[in-house]
Structure 1
Amino acid sequence: MDGFARDMRKDPTEPEKRLWTRLSSSQLGGHKFRRQSVIGPFIADFFCPQKGLVIEVDGDTHDILADLKRDAAMNRLELKVLHVGNADVIRNLEGVCENILRTLELMPDRWASPHPNPSPEGEGLLEQHSKGTEF
């Protein structure tokens, strides 16, 4: 799974590239994001570990039933999933970023800063929390 995520980071879609230019380096309200982050059996397009926000950039060919199942699994891990469309990212990047920032501001922090887990992805917390969780 990690190799697949690494490959996806090397070859992002155009909307993912554009959104990453605004999410990288803590540019959006100081929130740190990871891209193509492995969470359980899934790869999240973007993930803010501090807030537990997963952002999925959806194209025209998304399987809605699969998305619902995946979102439910993420919710069981106490993660919130925000879906944004490719077209919205391309045509209205500023509006998408405002929506993401507004969502982040409404969410509580998952831990006090700095994070007690030195893992860069916060995997330790996800792994502990997901034990026994069926996807």
Structure 2
Amino acid sequence: MTDKNQITKNTPSRAGKGKGLGLPKRGKTGLIQFQKINPTKLQLAKYFRSHMTYAERCFWNMCRRNQIAGLQFRRQQVIYGFIADFYCNQINLVVEIDGGIHEQQKDYDKLRTEIINLYGIKVIRFTNEEVIDKSDTVKQRIIDLASRIPA
């Protein structure tokens, strides 16, 4: 007898309509469905949620409860093996808050952004200082971007 899970694992996705794309779908919950998530990454994301930087907490207070144009954001979302600071499923947007360490890892951040973009997800970056000192500008940039991205 064949195990139902085995069939599901071996059945190609219809999302790419036979073109080898098979990109995961985004569900109503804001999660990206059918992506394989490394349990270690998931635990790390949970840890990051409870240990956010000051700038991340400022952004979370700014966007939680759909305060930016009615958009819902998730904190520390695992997306294709990367942990995004914030993710909005409605407009396929990752928001990254870059602290001092990002100055030393620009090449890695660029590659990470390019990979996430391949899945049709836009990435926008803000520095800690922008989030803390210019929150109205940060909100407006997200609203402007949301108005240009088809949902």
TM over 0.5: yes
The one-character-per-residue Cα deviations of 1:77-122 (angstroms, maximum 9, x if unpaired) are: 100000000011111111111111111111110xxxxxxxxxxxxx
When the two structures are superposed, what TM-score results if normalisation uses the length of structure 2? Answer: 0.71
SS of equivalent to 1:32: coil
The match for 2:111 is 69
Larger Rg over CA atoms: 2
Shift of 1:60: 1.8
* Cα separation, 1, equivalents of 2:101 and 2:125: 14
Q: Aligned pair 1:4/2:44, yes or no?
A: yes
State the superposition RMSD in angstroms: 0.7
Q: Aligned pair 1:31/2:71, yes or no?
A: yes
Q: 1 or 2 for the larger relative contact order (CA 8 Å, sep ≥6)?
A: 1
* Cα separation, 1, equivalents of 2:65 and 2:132: 21
Aligned residue-pair number: 109
Gap regions ≥5 residues in structure 2: 1-40
* Cα separation, 2, equivalents of 1:88 and 1:50: 24
* Cα separation, 2, equivalents of 1:9 and 1:95: 24
Runs of 4+ in 1 over 3 A off after TM superposition: none
* Cα separation, 1, equivalents of 2:71 and 2:147: 10
* Cα separation, 2, equivalents of 1:47 and 1:15: 16
The match for 1:56 is 96
* Cα separation, 1, equivalents of 2:95 and 2:77: 11
SS of equivalent to 1:3: helix
